[in-house]
């Protein structure tokens, strides 16, 4: 058997070993009852209620400062219950170019109307449509780990 076939055989033996281990552990876990999930802060998470007690949305605040260049703006209000799907985006009720002035909200950036290659589009790019990929709401919670981060010099 040549060296390449030997590596291939060892790789498959490893994969099969991992699969058997997962099955054995899974069977043992199933016998113990349902798995309990917890957040990093130790709050139980229910599969039926993914938001649960572990999520606390902060109160509305003035626009929040940015900590580094090109940081997506933070969301200074609750988004609890906001629907963002292929068919509808609740954020656009206030942040679209047509409604931002009336809603007294920040309008979305022109960059949200461009493709990866920089071509302009007439509507929001699919890459920018799901706001929570980049923009996050703030909560009043203690950090999970220590942090000594300082904002970039250009933003002081």
Residue numbers in the known binding site for heme c are: 77, 91, 94-95, 112, 131, 134-135
Residue 131, judged by CB atoms within 10 A of its CB (0-12, 13-18, 19+), counts as buried
How many residues are listed for the chain in this entry? 156
**Binding-site residues, please?**
77, 91, 94-95, 112, 131, 134-135
């Amino acid at each position: 058997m040549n060296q390449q076939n030997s590596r291939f055989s060892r790789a498959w033996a490893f994969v099969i070993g991992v699969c058997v281990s997962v099955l054995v552990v899974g069977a043992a876990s199933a016998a113990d009852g349902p798995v309990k999930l917890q957040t990093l802060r130790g709050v139980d998470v229910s599969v039926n209620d993914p938001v649960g007690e572990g999520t606390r949305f902060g109160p509305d605040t003035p626009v929040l400062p940015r900590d580094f260049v090109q940081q997506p703006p933070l969301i200074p209000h609750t988004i609890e219950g906001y629907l963002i799907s292929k068919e509808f985006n609740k954020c656009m009720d206030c942040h679209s170019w047509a409604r931002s002035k009336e809603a007294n909200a920040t309008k979305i950036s022109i960059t949200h109307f461009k493709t990866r290659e920089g071509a302009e589009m007439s509507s929001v790019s699919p890459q920018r449509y799901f706001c929570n990929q980049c923009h996050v709401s703030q909560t009043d919670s203690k950090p999970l780990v220590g942090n000594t981060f300082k904002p970039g010099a250009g933003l002081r």
